[in-house]
């Protein structure tokens, strides 16, 4: 096995792990010291994928891995978990027992696997392969993976936002303003005195 860094042919195995479907070996180059991983798998019957446009091509594990990695960009996932995910998807496809599998079936299996792994990666992948028709379909997909408690909170919030007062309903009665009572203009003492004096003068006349 040639070193991918310097091309040297000699390397030593530092770790080996058998997963059943394959043997994973961690190697270290004897020349430059670079470390890399190799996989040993049993050669199986070729699996053909039928594309949406009718074309047929061999199942490409690396292509599937690239698409899954793209959906998981910047997600806090353990090292090696995506390789194992792709292995499980391939195993599911082979369990179908058919030489040809539709590409849509591959996408659905990948979506279901991602759903249990990481909800954000699941939504990213589903948005491409399910081709949501509108924003409403996209939001329903997000709500479907939320916890029941959170979904209930969101539903209540949406109901509050969409409540519009009925135009035919009677307008609310204005509330009385609390404060000082309105004052009533009363004649002051000088005015009363003047009025009395005028009255007396009239009486004398």
In this structure, are residues 47 and 64 in contact, taking their beta carbons and an 8 Å threshold? Answer: no
Distance CA(36)–CA(30), nearest Å, equals 12
- Where is average pLDDT lowest: 8-12, 44-48, 103-107, 179-183? 179-183
* Three-class secondary structure of residue 134 per DSSP: coil
Question: Cα 110–111–113 angle (5° rounding)?
Answer: 65
- Per-domain residue ranges of the chain: 1-43, 44-152
Q: Rank 69-78, 142-151, 158-167 by mean pLDDT and report only the highest.
A: 69-78
Classify the C-alpha dihedral 82-76-67-2 as positive or negative.
negative
> What is the secondary structure of 170-186 as a DSSP string?
PPPPPPPPPSPPPP---
Dist. CA 58–CA 36, nearest whole Å = 26
CATH code of domain 1-43: 2.20.25
Q: For residue 29, which phi and psi values (nearest 5 degrees)?
A: -65, 135
- What's the rounded Cα separation, in Å, for the pair 54 and 60? 17
pLDDT digits (tens, 9 = 90+) for 97-138: 888 999 989 999 999 999 889 989 988 898 887 776 677 777
Give tens-digit pLDDT for 167-191: 444 455 656 555 555 555 545 544 4
Position 9 confidence tier, pLDDT thresholds 50, 70, 90 = confident
Contact 31, 3 (CB under 8 A): yes
Query: What is the pTM assigned to this prediction?
Result: 0.50
């Amino acid at each position: 096995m040639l070193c991918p860094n310097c091309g040297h042919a000699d390397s030593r195995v530092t770790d080996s792990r058998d997963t059943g479907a394959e043997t994973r070996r961690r190697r270290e180059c004897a020349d430059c010291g670079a470390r890399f991983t190799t996989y040993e798998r049993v050669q199986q019957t070729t699996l053909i994928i039928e594309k949406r446009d009718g074309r047929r091509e061999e199942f490409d594990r690396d292509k599937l891995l690239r698409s899954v990695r793209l959906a998981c960009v910047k997600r806090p996932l353990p090292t090696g978990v995506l390789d194992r995910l792709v292995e499980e998807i391939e195993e599911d496809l082979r369990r179908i027992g058919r030489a040809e599998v539709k590409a849509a079936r591959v996408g659905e299996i990948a979506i279901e696997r991602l759903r249990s792994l990481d909800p954000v990666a699941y939504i990213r992948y589903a948005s491409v392969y399910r081709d949501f028709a509108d924003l409403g379909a996209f939001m329903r997909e997000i709500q479907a993976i939320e916890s029941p408690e959170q979904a209930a909170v969101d539903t209540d919030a949406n109901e509050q936002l969409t409540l519009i007062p009925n135009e035919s309903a009677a307008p609310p009665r204005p509330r009385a303003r609390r404060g000082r009572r309105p004052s009533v203009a009363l004649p002051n003492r000088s005015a009363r005195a003047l009025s009395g004096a005028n009255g007396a003068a009239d009486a004398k006349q």
